[in-house]
Amino acid sequence: MKICIIYHSESGNTRHVAQHLATACDGKLIGISDTANYNRFTRFLIWCKKARGEEATSIEPASIDVSGYDQLIFGSPVWAFKPTPAIHAAINAVKGCEGMKATAFCTHGGRPGQTAEAFQKWIEDRGMKCVGNANIHQNDIENKKKTKELISVLIKESKTV
Ligand SMILES: Cc1cc2nc3c(=O)[nH]c(=O)nc-3n(C[C@H](O)[C@H](O)[C@H](O)COP(=O)(O)O)c2cc1C
């Protein structure tokens, strides 16, 4: 089974979990960057406002061809109880995803809020089937048991589960 893991990470937690997933399934990893220019003093508030409003932002890569994969996994930090504008843009940017299976995960600081619901809606709006959702606290990303549980929810046929 060919799996593509598409993630956004600003401070590395989500990237860390995405790398574990990629190892578990020999998956392809695609990291998304938010290319908007933010003032470093005000960006926290802008990030929260945009995430809360379920906005998308400009990203690199701007287009992601996923034809040829059997499953997609989307990963994001939680910002203001939602996935980030960059992962929202990435879900909008995938090409060839119609009818594909997809799962999603987030890393968070204790309050994931409506992240799972937003992920499910955005995935289904693009014609994919949302078949799993998981979250992990930022303090648990090195926890083997929790990581294994997350992998078993997100990947149905992994090598290490
Ligand atoms: C702008 C911003 C907003 C955040 N909002 C939340 C939140 O609403 N709930 C929560 O549990 N954690 C929140 N966090 C914490 C992050 O979700 C958490 O640290 C995450 O693991 C960061 O992922 P990253 O290292 O991949 O960027 C927020 C962090 C930032 C920077």
Pocket test for ligand 1, best of 108, 111, 142 (most atoms within 8 A of CB): 108
Residue 159 lies in a domain: no
Q: What is the extent of the structural domain holding 83?
A: 3-154
Q: State what percent of residues in the chain have pLDDT above 90.
A: 96
- Which protein residues are within 6 Å of ligand 1, measured from CB? 9-15, 44, 47-48, 77-81, 107-113, 138
Q: Mean pLDDT, to the nearest integer, of 123-148?
A: 97
- CA separation for the pair 11, 4 (Å, rounded): 21
Taking the centre of ligand 1 as the mean of its atom positions, its distance from the CA of residue 140, in whole angstroms, is 14
> What pLDDT shows up at residue 157?
61
What DSSP element (H or E) covers 64?
Answer: strand 64-65
DSSP class of residue 58? -
Q: Is the pLDDT of residue 160 over 50?
A: no
pLDDT tens profile 52-111:
999 999 999 999 999 999 999 999 999 999 999 999 999 999 999 999 999 999 999 999
Residue 161 lies in a domain: no
Pocket test for ligand 1, best of 78, 141, 150 (most atoms within 8 A of CB): 78
Residue 148 lies in a domain: yes
Contact 30, 93 (CB under 8 A): no
pLDDT range class, residue 158, cuts 50, 70, 90:
very low
Residue 45 lies in a domain: yes
Pocket test for ligand 1, best of 7, 20, 79 (most atoms within 8 A of CB): 79
Residue 140 lies in a domain: yes
Residue 49 lies in a domain: yes
Under 8 Å CB-to-CB from 74, ≥6 apart: which residues?
Answer: 6, 7, 83, 87, 90, 91, 102, 103, 104, 105, 119, 123
Q: Is the pLDDT of residue 159 over 50?
A: no
Residue 76 lies in a domain: yes
Under 8 Å CB-to-CB from 24, ≥6 apart: which residues?
Answer: 151, 155, 158, 159, 160, 161
Return the CATH number at 77. Answer: 3.40.50.360
Residue 103 lies in a domain: yes
Total number of domains constituting the chain = 1
